[in-house]
Amino acid sequence: MSRAMFRLTRDGAVARLTLDRPEARNAIAAAGWAELAHAVGEAGDARLLIVSGAGAAFCAGADLADFPVFREDEAARIRFRVEMRAALDRLRDLPVPTIAHIEGPCYGAGVALAMACDLRIATADARFAITPAKIGISYPQEDVHRLVALVGPGQAARLLFTAAAIGAEEALRIGLVELVGGVAPLVAAILANDGASLAALKRAIALGRSDAGQDWRFDALIGGEEAARRLEALRRK
């Protein structure tokens, strides 16, 4: 890649990660995944991260221009899988809320990127398709798992087996996005809440049924300064 395609900018407490390759509808080249992991690492001290695409697209998926190389070079295709996984999981593991703000096309690995965020909010013109079967490849196991967690095994099969594109309203109905509309009210609602609470709740969603550590976090927060301050503020209203 001649230049970086991920731009991390800050607006106060909010970090924004922009896929900035609009001439290719923000398709991600093989070299882009390490760049994404690096950009996510820079966002750690923000209170919230928004992921969105430049131009009128979220992400067209992995850049197909790299695929002839994958065919020739086994090391390159292993590196592709490993670096994509590392970047997506680094995003998933950020301790602050992450929002994918999806306009226009969101295809293939672009859906995996959106699913690595906690929340997905789409504009009315967003379109989603998961297309590996169309080009004779597979989809990473962890991302299939995340898809099943969001939409269930039946809709996962439908999306993966047909590779069909669906619109924002259908994505909302089946659970691939949580909201359709503008991102500003969502960001404002989250920023009004307590950061330590948000971190504990994000951890709780990621965990399974039982985790003793979460009990002690629950006790610590309920006995803390911030809870006292917020209760007092509520009482005065």
CB of 104 to a second copy, least distance (A): 19
Pick out residues in 74-113 that bind a second copy (CB under 8 A).
74, 77-78, 80-81, 97
Confirm or reject binding of residue 24 to a second copy (CB under 8 A). Answer: no
Nearer residue to a second copy within complex by CB, 38 or 77: 77
DSSP secondary structure of 151-186: HHHHHHHHHHHH---EEHHHHHHHTS-SEES-SHHH
| 191-210 footprint of a second copy as x/- string (CB under 8 A) | -xxx-xxx-xxx-xx-xxxx
Question: Which of 154, 169, 181, 182 lies at the binding interface for a second copy (CB under 8 A)?
Answer: 154
Strand-pairing partners, residue 180, are 122
Nearer residue to a second copy within complex by CB, 38 or 202: 202
Q: How many residues bind a second copy (CB under 8 A)?
A: 85
Contact segment (CB under 8 A) with a second copy among 11-19, 33-41, 104-112, 134-142 equals 134-142
Task: Give, rounded to a whole angstrom, the gap between the first and last alpha carbons of the chain.
Answer: 54
Confirm or reject binding of residue 128 to a second copy (CB under 8 A). Answer: no
Q: Which residue has the tokens 């989250």?
A: 190
Q: Is the dihedral of CA 92, 94, 96, 100 positive or negative?
A: negative
Cα separation, 27 vs 20, in Å, equals: 9
